[in-house]
Amino acid sequence: MNAPFFKFDFFSADFSLVIAFAIGIGFGFALERGGFGNARILASQFYFTDMRVLKVMFSAIVTAMLGVFFFVAFGWLDLSLVYYTDTNLIPQVVGGLILGVGFVVGGYCPGTSCVSAATGRIDGVIYLLGVMAGIFVFGEIFPLIEGFYYSSNMGRVFLPDYLGLSYGMIVFLVVLMAVGAFAAAEWGEKKMAAKSGGVK
């Protein structure tokens, strides 16, 4: 097996758009199943009453990470051909903070707001208009912040290389961390439910 298929010319760029649509359907379906079309469910993550965001996100990351790890270990997947962004540490840290604030103010992230809008939520539609406004402002002032945007570039940084540990060890540590986070989330939810007298 030679993966990623697209990079080995198994199909054309035009056909990749069909795949994009199909993958998007799976993505949207999963988000809706998880309750992520609903801002109240997403926001309850930040009040410790319903930790679904953490549970879904980390089980998704762990599943995909393990999949990639084993495909690479079996020699089926060339990881150097899988795209991910360069690390620009400071802009990404600042961007993450802004995004986190936007998450709890707006109630969604861009992907979940699409599902929200598709299932009739007006706040999701308005949120999406806000996202486009934010992108427009960013684009307009880009010449002023270009220096900051490209600052602290570290290139393509793979965590195992950066920490000087083996790929398998980092995968193991992430799984361990996720299991710990799940246990803490279950415990926290019970604690919060008891505090509010079992009413959720």
Partner 1 sequence: MSSITGIFSKEAVQEKIHEPKPYSNPYLVGIGLGLVLLAAFIIMGRGLGASGAFSSLVAAGVQQVAPDHAANNPYFKEYIGDGSTNPLKDWLVFEVLGVFVGGLISGLLAHRVKKTVEKGDRISVRNRLIFAFIGGGLMGFGAKLARGCTSGQALTGGALLNLGSWAFMMMVFAGAYGMAYFMRRQWT
Peptide bond into 160 cis (omega under 30): no
Distance in Å, CB of 105 to partner 1, minimum = 4
Positive or negative, the Cα torsion across 165, 171, 174, 175? negative
Distance in Å, CB of 180 to partner 1, minimum = 15
**CB neighbour class for 139 (10 Å; exposed up to 12, middle 13-18, buried from 19):** exposed
Distance between CA 82 and CA 65 in Å, rounded? 13
Closest to partner 1 by CB, 73 vs 126, is: 126
Distance in Å, CB of 88 to partner 1, minimum = 7
Residue 36 contacts residue 121 (beta carbons within 8 Å):
no
Residue 34 contacts residue 52 (beta carbons within 8 Å):
yes
What's the Rg (C-alpha) of the chain?
20
Closest to partner 1 by CB, 100 vs 180, is: 100
Residue 102's closest CA among 124, 131, 65? 131
Distance in Å, CB of 51 to partner 1, minimum = 8
Residue 115 contacts residue 32 (beta carbons within 8 Å):
yes
The separation between CA 154 and the C-alpha centre of its own chain, rounded to angstroms, equals: 21
Distance in Å, CB of 119 to partner 1, minimum = 4
